[in-house]
Chains A and B, each alone.
Chain A
Amino acid sequence: MPRRDDIETILLIGSGPIVIGQACEFDYSGTQACRVLREEGYRVVLVNSNPATIMTDPEFADATYVEPLDVPTLTRIIEKERPDALLPTLGGQTGLNLAIALHEAGVLDTYSVEMIGANVEAIETAEDRQRFKVAMTEIGLHVPPSGIAYDVDEALRVGEEIGYPIIIRPAYILGGGGTGIAHSHEEMKHLAERGLAASPISEILIERSIAGWKEYELEVMRDHADNVVVICSIENLDPMGVHTGESITVAPAQTLTDVEYQLMRDAAFACIRRIGVETGGSNVQFAVHPQTGEMVVIEMNPRVSRSSALASKATGFPIAKIAAKLAVGYRLDEVQNDITRETPASFEPTIDYVVTKFPRWAFEKLPGSNPVLGTQMQSVGEVMAIGRTFCESLQKSVRSLETGRYGLNCDPTERELDVLSEDELVLAAAIPTPDRIFQVEAALRRFVSIERVHEVTGIDPWFLDQILQIVEERDRLAGLGIEQVTRSDWRRAKRLGFSDPQLAYMWGSTEAEVRSARTAAGVRVTYKTVDTCAAEFAAFTPYHYSTYEDEDEIAPLEKPAVVILGSGPNRIGQGVEFDYCCVHAAFALRDAGFETVMVNCNPETVSTDYDTSDRLFFEPLTNEDVLNVCERLQEAGEVRGIIVSLGGQTPLKLAHDLERSGVPVLGTSPASIDAAEDREQFNALCTRLGIPQPDGAMATTADEAVAVANRIGYPVLVRPSYVLGGRAMQIVYDDSDVRRAMAELAHTGSLGREGGLSAERPALIDRFLEDATEVDVDAIRDHGGACLIGGVMEHTEEAGVHSGDSSCAIPPPTLPAEVVRTIEEYTRALAAELEVVGLLNVQYAVRDRRVYVIEANPRASRTVPFVSKATGVPLAKIAARVMLGATLEQLATEGLLKPPAPGRHVAVKEAVLPFNRFPDVDTILGPEMRSTGEVMGIDRSFGMAFAKSQAGAGNKLPSEGTVFLSLADRDKDAGMFAARRFFDLGFSIAATAGTARFLEGKRVRVDTVVAKVGEEVGVDAVELISSGKVDLVINTPRGRGPRSDGMHIRRAAIVHGVACITTVAAAVAAAGGITEEAERDADVRSLQEYHADGQLRFDV
């Protein structure tokens, strides 16, 4: 049966903000689905609260709602749009759970919305761990012995029965939320509590732990005619006990005989049929006993997943795209494989390379977190690398991570391990951490046996022997030295994935010398093609990866090419918003007649979808790998230039070397980039322009730093240069703090790794502006000097809270018009002086109507997609065109830049923080960015937009009940206004003693005075919150030092899911929001509607 004609409008639910366990892979799947369904002529209604995504771009759906993802809002949208069908399987766990919720609320029936793809029955059987196990047992598949519990006592009982160690697995979770392995009664108690809290239906499965077994995944697709195929098999290098999202994983499976593999395939088919996923993709996870081969089923995800995104990139088979087609009636054999064009999608891809996925963690940004990997996801992103062999792909994946590593050791960082003895290495490797694979290599290099390493890590000996081959080759090459190596030596080294920097390190040479010696020996990179069929058929999609073989498959360029560098793995401070910019550039430049070339290594993204650009190179973003691509393309035709300013800091770092190697860098020149990044140059520039800056200077030693601090006066802000997301930035209040901060910068952490402090990488010491309002501006300047102010964003939180972590609004709700004018003037002046061609982001701090510039970044910023969605101006597209010589005027005539019109709406961006995953990390906001994602609230007034943004971020503001305030002294005056408004709204007020005294003094009645935490008399704050009697917590940190009391309060709020606000500004905004919510219902309007009656923006 082909396309269904009985449905017209299809509703898609996105996965909301980027959170740990749910990253931009769902932007990729959702975007694909939107495209396909519209190509098929359906009307697509999309709801997603995340403005940074590509799918929420107005051009991808007929009606795009950037609204909170909750049942009431979705109900209103369904009421308004009347979709015929809901496709629940492409929006991650969020989309799936919401679909179920809508069904249970009877909404789908009321408006007769059909669920396509997977039905409720199927979803529940798969997601309810107990029902799933029963179902699997029914069809004769094995599962670990287990029981189910709804409270802690029950849990303990079951635990006893099964016997420790046991694992706790909550129902309806993602990223292993709330899972954990308990070895004792005590651990069990704690983990059971956490697990019950994590499960939306507070149900946990208690299961015999089979940690140490081999873990596998199969990506399976089924159509309504019951044709089923496996798209990809994945083997986890880290065995059971480390979440697949935390494991280094490899495709295809490496150590299964065909006999075993086919049994697993049969099992996966039986599973998807029994669960009853009618059409689409599912992910089935298995564990295999390494000695007996016994196979058990771990779980099945009846939807596209992180792994299916990986599988799509790993094989070239677009699972989400096909899933969407199957959902609307097509059979697999009715869908074409658009890579081969001549064969149908009803086949099983086969590959002739090895794919390695490596997770990216952010422990260094979360002090207090414990970098041990387990059954819960903690990673914030991942990279994928393709090589002809496992060794090659593994080493490529490591250098894709951008953690300062050149490959699997053989670089300066490996010295950290040299100090350890063999036994210490083995002990360290026994605990799964981000460093384990490096410890394994070091151990093998120190002649620890494969058996011993296998014993403590559970890593399969085959993988270990592969790593040993890297080790042995390294020893051989080290013995030779750069002069002696022959062509076949070079070839073997590169085929094992050694990077030029690794070889340079080994031989005490330089990357440049190694590169020229190697090319002189005739060993140059070759590019192969990802084609789903191991070359059995001709491939039409230029999706390439580098390797060192005989034959290269790059076709000549047909048009002048533009190379766009992506942003690498998702991490805190650099995520999907930069992918948005790169993708938009690709679209705009393709339309403008260029051949677009994308280079990136992040498998979750839209940018690495093979049809986003004309050519895709799945490569690490290092100088060597990018230079290889550019040189090869220059041989293939005209390369107009390379775009480094849309992928965040990652490509920007490469600008210099690329330019030096003769690759034309498009847009703002690397020299100007330096002028902005380099403190002295930038200071001079601002002075020239008469733009005020916070007083400050650079320092490379603690003494210098202290001197500076004393000159400019405390508090000061200490931070490294050349970093993103306020990495390692601290507000310090006295000399000793300064010294500590400098010491940290110099030595510890990954910053030390990246070179520590030096004349080239000094620390910046700035006067910290207290109680200043922060403002962000995104602007575009063309080579003719015309300048477009994309948007002026006023932050809710005061300066000192990282721009990425604070909420902000367009247009500025409180800034006086003349301040805004000043800000625009300054921005234009800076753009001109820096000779910006393309995007410029400037951050200001405003205090007493005086505007200080904090920093200027001549590149795409985190806020570009937000501004574009708020205003309807496609900034990234315009910037890309400008970088290739178009003027704003031309683009206006062309229609890409629409004429300004006053908008009647306000858009608020709110950050989403990962604290629920890291219970021991203080939630207080500061200059170091820690949010993983963002949401947008949009409505006709600031208050309502703010309220929506809070709801979207999972902080739904209460409409009644008790507000608990605990304010720092300096916040008390402002806080009083907030308190009074809550009081007027009929909330009862609870407060800590000091705050209470102050409020009463100002005649705000306080109903409950709360004792200090741990104080004997009366209920203390934590008890009060735990008792569920508080509906909103407003707690601002008291000055500096150990903020223990506040910390307990905020943690309690998080644990018990009570909305918690940590700045007075936000509290006031919240009060405003609640006031308005009391007065009227929030609008549900699509971006298309908002943009139609006016882009909210400022004139050219």
Chain B
Amino acid sequence: MRRVERVLLLVVGVYLAVGLAVLHGAGFLEGLRVPLVVGGTTVTALLAVHWYWSRSDFRGDSTLFPAVALLAATGLVFLLRLDLEYGLRQFVWLLTGLAVLAVTTGLLRDYRLLAEYQYFWAAAGAAALLAPLIFGQEFGGARSWLKLGAVQFQPSEFAKVFLVVFLAVFLARATGRSETGARLWLPPAGLLVLTLVVLGLQNDIGTAAIYFATLLTLIYAATARVLFVGGGLVLLAAATVALARVAPHVRVRLETWLNPWPQIETHGYQITQSLFAIAAGGITGTGLGAGHPEFVPAAHTDFIFAAVVEELGFLGGAGCILLFVFLVYRGLKIALESEDRFGVLLATGCTALLGWQGFVIMAGVTRLLPLTGVTLPFVSYGGSSLVTSFILLGLLLNISHAGGGSIHEGERREVGPRTAGRLFHPHRASRLPPGGAGARAGGAPL
């Protein structure tokens, strides 16, 4: 079981070791203690999660975790290269994230438990969103941080999980009762307005955009109506125009997006430095540790993609995008394979959050979209973001586990009489034949 996962994780370990060796050789890591401890512990922790899953007969998708581990290893190597202190902190957060992943796949393996506490999630999400407004501190232009002892964290990251769970439960129930009209769209719309107002007050436009996109994705997945998506996009355009008139912060963002060059010394500095860094990379990059990503402000968090592209080149950047494509593909596949409405929507929501966040920041850094400061999931520095991303991964894997998981090479599954029908078509129970009902008593849903 899970042989593919083990082999892939071992190759990720080799990849990490090579990265650390390069950093050591290029003089970023003095001595052997740091690379050995960081590399050894990370690989051990990855394998420990894998070992726990193998031991507890976990059937969740076996390629998602290696893909994520590859992204996380890349992030770790780049953070150690950019700033040793950030790198070491990220290392600790990565271990925390892996522990959280193991706990998520342990305690919440039956993710349907989450559906029991619908309004708790809404309340928790709202609380997490509002807390920094009251107790928070401003950092990097966004008032979304909470300080707890020595640890700073961004509650809006955790609010994402709560709100996605709430929306998935709500939409699963509402569409299950075939509700339409106000009772269907009013609660999500109300929640959305609240979220956007709060995030607007916190100046956290990137997170607001991700919430918005995720909500539209979920509503589309739940209702299959393009009208909602179209209406949402019109609303978004209108809101952007209106905001640009009222808020100077937003107008500056839009202007630096359309043409950053006149303001290269001020507001456009960050994005133009990012573009220079990306251009410097060429096809295969300058090589790990041989570029100058330190010229890009915030290269360790929001702009880590620029650093990756500078040093690993077009190939490295395309590889990151491919990994996100892979994550989204697997996530949506897990959603399609899920056998209950809540599972479908929760998997779609988790995938949408990770996918949109990756898209928003990679597009922002390359000036495809206006720049909004969010982290690149699993890669950027940031404890809250990393832990949240691992929770989302854990939920996805749990849904995959319930849906039967992935195929393993050489696996044999007998078709027993109890599972035979279900193996292929879980929804067939609804098709009753017109005649011969007497003989079909055994055709009840399994």
Partners in one complex: no
Name B residues whose Cβ lies closer than 8 Å to a Cβ of A.
none
Interface residues of A (CB under 8 A from B): none
